[in-house]
Structure 1
Amino acid sequence: MSKPVTILAVPVFSLLCNAAFALRREVFVWEQNVPEDEEHDQYDLTATHFVAIVDGEVVGTLRLVDLPEHAKIGRVAVRQALRGQGIARKLIAAAMAHARERGQDRFYLTAQSDKLGFYESLGFVAFGPEFIDGGMPHRAMRDYDKHSAQLVD
Structure 2
Amino acid sequence: MSVAADRDGRDPDATHIVAVNDGRVLGTCRLVFRGTTAQLGRLAVEPGRRGAGVAGAILREATRVARTRGSARIALHAQTYARALYRRDGYSETGEPFEEEGIEHVAMEKALA
Shorter-chain TM-score bucket reads over 0.9
- Contact in 1 for aligned 2:36/2:72 (Cα 8 Å): no
Q: Which structure is higher in RCO with an 8 Å CA cutoff and minimum separation 6?
A: 2
Alpha-carbon offset, residue 88 of structure 1 = 0.9
Q: Could you tell me which amino acid in structure 2 is paired with residue 55 of structure 1?
A: D
- Contact in 1 for aligned 2:35/2:71 (Cα 8 Å): no
**Long gaps (5+) in structure 1:** 1-33, 148-153
Identical-pair percentage: 36
Aligned partner of 1:107 among 74, 93, 96: 74
Question: 1:73 maps to which residue?
Answer: 40
Alpha-carbon offset, residue 43 of structure 1 = 1.4
Q: Could you tell me which amino acid in structure 1 is paired with residue 61 of structure 2?
A: A
**Alpha-carbon distance between aligned partners in 1 of 2:2 and 2:71, rounded to the nearest angstrom:** 32
Question: 2:97 maps to which residue?
Answer: 130
Deviates more, 1:85-94 or 1:101-110: 101-110
| TM-score under structure 2 length normalisation | 0.92
Alpha-carbon offset, residue 134 of structure 1 = 2.3
**Long gaps (5+) in structure 2:** none
SS in 2 for 1:91: helix
C-alpha distance after superposition, 1:73-105 (max 9, x if no partner)? 110000000100111111111111012112213
SS in 1 for 2:5: helix
Aligned partner of 1:139 among 96, 106, 109: 106
Q: Which runs of 4+ in 1 moved over 2 A?
A: none
Alpha-carbon offset, residue 135 of structure 1 = 1.5
Cα RMSD (Å): 1.4
More strand by share: 2
